[in-house]
Structure 1
């Protein structure tokens, strides 16, 4: 019956025709175009145009309202009828609203309610569309809700369950990008239903590209096929894609893999309010020193993804180990090999009520639309919070619940791959570390054998661009006279380059390198490092991935030592 409608609109129509609900919240991709199938073509129209002219096209009156524009109408007939009703009210009550309509929600809703009741009595059909609903009934704790917000909620709640409105052909539509931005009293009202508008899928994106550019035009503007364009624009909405195509058309810039990738990153970071950052690197796992077993394991995941075996992949990884062991570098290098985009979550928390949950809702929606995608969260023990966190009106616990629920959605297996990194996995809540969320726990450790130390030296020599006058491996590294983590090694080799530059030398001699390495004193926190190391050992979910020296250690003794170290560190 609703085949020419997008899925969300079909759901909307079915729910309305059940005649039990007349108030709906549309949220998600609400600022995009809506595909509307005709007999032989597909049109792409703005959401409000779709609602007023197509979805509610048979209604007698369609009225719009937002704080900026105030009340406005689908057509002149609706406006004329409303003005006539308002003129009658003005003459009766001595007001002058016909000359200048109010814009604040309290007075607007008061006028509208009187108008609705009169027209419903005359068997007229009405639709009210409230845009930017979060500015009318914003998310607030009950005690901090202002009088204007409370009055607006009363009007909306009354219209949703008043028998007169329910029996009439009357609908209220609230439009907002993030459901979390709306007051929960309205969102959770049993007389109100919410419908998500998703970001376009690959088939819809391909259809849109074909609709925007005829075949000859597309061939002239693109070096890649329409299928590739549709695949590469995952996470973008129709308006974003139109901007990519328009740029190619107006500026005569060919659409290439690189241009698509750059445009996608720029547009998605903008859509996410700068709260998502794409992770780019020229390094691969070949540039990671040591961690041989972990690299093998990750490469098996890469192969599974490339073979389309997403069903065998874990929901996510917990990557732990002492500071300086290269957790972030390892995951970044993995992102270059895996062939799917990797993003890093930036700080989405806000001091303003409701904004944090809204930011997170937006981010999670984008991640789902971008899939397949890998997500990196550094310092996860501090970043993700805890279900029992307090002191912030419950924001942290709600954020934790949103992320935990999203991570455990099995539909995302192999589509959204999580990497949670921490030096203190013992501080992370069990809810996130359990099977079904961060299922694989990988542990990284400082180099222990001669081969590992030399491999780390060679890798950091390449990374820092250290140019030696001759092939040379320092004794302090070869014999393990000092312990260097990856971060320590990088810092020490950079100091060697500094010493050479101070002596006006382009290249580093073995003598200068020895002096720099012997002089280097890394900040030492032995008990903290030991605690981080043992926590990583006890956290690792695969005995095979542990270095040999840790495999046969008694777990009871390790736990006792961890408790002792925690007590001593305080």
Structure 2
């Protein structure tokens, strides 16, 4: 009966037909088009059009409401009937609502309830669709809820469990993008059900492309096959996809891999309110100096994913090590080599009540739709918070719970790769580091052997674009008389280029390089660096991935040393 409906609408219909619930919350991808499969062709319509003309097409009256537009109707018949009922009320009470309807929720709901009761007595069927529901019953702590919000909650709750409304052919639909933006009392009400509308999958996107550019039109406007376009636009909804196709059609700009990639990044970053940032690099793991065992391990992961073996991948990685060892660079190079997009989570926290959870809900929904995707979280010990965090009305603990639950969903194994990076893994809650979340713990360390120092020097020469007047290896690098992390080496070589430029030279001479390396004094925090190093050693989940000098160290001794260092550095 509902086979031509999308999955969420079939779920909605089944719950409605159970006749036990008459109030529903639609959330997620609510401002997109709704796909409908007809016998001969597919159609794509706006959600409110779908609800009023298709889903509730047989209802006698379909009424819409939002704070900006006030009350409006599906058709002229519904409007006339409502105005007729209001005229009778106006004549009794001396009001003039028939000529000028209110827009505030309290007066609107009062009018609607009186109207509903009269029409339900007449055996009429009614659907009320409330858009931007988060502006009517927003997320608030119980003590800070305003009188208008509380009154609106009373009306909605009464319509959801009043036997008169339950027995009638009456339905209330609340539309919101993020479920977390709504008052939790309403969301958790046993008489209310929520239904998530997901971002279109690849098959639906391909059908939409065929609908928008039928026949030979697509081939004329794209140098990329239709199937590939549908595949590479993961994370975009129909409206986003339409803008790409419209641009190609109107501006006669062919769809290429590059244009598609740029448009997708721009649209997704916009959809995520700027809370997601795509990370790109021209480097691969070959550009990473040292860390030979870790690179070998990651290349096995690359091969597994390219062979379709998502089942052997960890749910996530914890990448730890002292500052300057190249954690962020390593992860970015890995994503480049595997050929999937990598995004970095930006600050989604807000001072406003409920906004933080709503932002995170939006981000996690996009990540699910974009899969496969890699997610980078830098300074994860500070970014993700803790289950026991306090002082912010429970926001941090709820955020932590949302992320932890999403990370442990095994359906995302091999499809959403989490990379949590930190120099202090000891400060991260065990809940995120345990097996089933960030399962694989990789530790990075500063170069120790001559081969590692030489490799780091050569890689950083290439990265900084340093040109030498002759082939030369500085003694300080050869002999290891001074320790350089990757960040230290990059900074020192950049200073050598600066000295050469001050002399009006493009190339760096051995004397200038030696002087720059000898003069360079990296900020020195020996106890902090030792604490970060030992924390990485104790955190690593593979003995094989540790440098030889750390493999046989007594772990009890390391733990005691870590506790001692923590006391000394405060």
Q: CA deviation at 1:129?
A: 0.1
Q: CA deviation at 1:215?
A: 2.1
> Residue 556 of structure 2 aligns with which residue?
556
Q: TM-score, normalised by structure 2?
A: 1.00
Q: CA deviation at 1:213?
A: 0.6
- Residues 306-385 of structure 1 aligned to structure 2 (within 5 Å): 306-385=306-385
Deviations 1:542-566 (A, max 9, x none): 0000000000000000000000000
Q: Is 1:515 the counterpart of 2:519 in the alignment?
A: no
Q: CA deviation at 1:472?
A: 0.5
Deviations 1:106-164 (A, max 9, x none): 00000000000000000000000000000000000000001000000000000000000
Distance in 2, matches of 1:338 and 1:180, equals 34
> Residue 451 of structure 1 aligns with which residue?
451
Q: Is 1:481 the counterpart of 2:481 in the alignment?
A: yes
- Residues 240-279 of structure 1 aligned to structure 2 (within 5 Å): 240-279=240-279
Q: Secondary structure at the match of 1:200?
A: coil
Query: What are structure 1's unaligned runs of at least 5 residues?
Result: none
Q: CA deviation at 1:410?
A: 0.2
Deviations 1:494-550 (A, max 9, x none): 111111111111111000000000001000000000000000000000000000000
Deviations 1:35-74 (A, max 9, x none): 0111111110000000000000000000000000000000
Deviations 1:453-485 (A, max 9, x none): 010011111111111100111000110010000
- Residues 116-515 of structure 1 aligned to structure 2 (within 5 Å): 116-515=116-515
How many residues are treated as equivalent by the alignment? 570
- Residues 63-142 of structure 1 aligned to structure 2 (within 5 Å): 63-142=63-142
Q: Secondary structure at the match of 1:44?
A: strand
Distance in 1, matches of 2:214 and 2:96, equals 54
Q: TM-score, normalised by structure 1?
A: 1.00
Distance in 2, matches of 1:420 and 1:494, equals 29
Deviations 1:181-233 (A, max 9, x none): 00000000000000000000011001110111112101100111110011000
Q: Secondary structure at the match of 1:31?
A: coil
Distance in 1, matches of 2:361 and 2:417, equals 18
Distance in 1, matches of 2:462 and 2:477, equals 16
> Residue 21 of structure 2 aligns with which residue?
21
Deviations 1:213-261 (A, max 9, x none): 1121011001111100110000000010000000000011111111111
Distance in 2, matches of 1:189 and 1:66, equals 22
Q: Secondary structure at the match of 1:215?
A: coil
Distance in 2, matches of 1:246 and 1:214, equals 13
Q: Secondary structure at the match of 1:390?
A: coil
Moved over 3 A (4+): none
Distance in 2, matches of 1:556 and 1:218, equals 65
Distance in 2, matches of 1:85 and 1:213, equals 47
Deviations 1:307-356 (A, max 9, x none): 00000000000000000000000001111101111100000000000000
- Residues 36-47 of structure 1 aligned to structure 2 (within 5 Å): 36-47=36-47
> Residue 6 of structure 1 aligns with which residue?
6
Distance in 2, matches of 1:215 and 1:118, equals 53
CA RMSD of aligned residues (A): 0.5
Distance in 2, matches of 1:445 and 1:533, equals 7
> Residue 565 of structure 1 aligns with which residue?
565
Distance in 2, matches of 1:101 and 1:152, equals 17
Distance in 1, matches of 2:286 and 2:37, equals 50
Distance in 1, matches of 2:505 and 2:59, equals 82
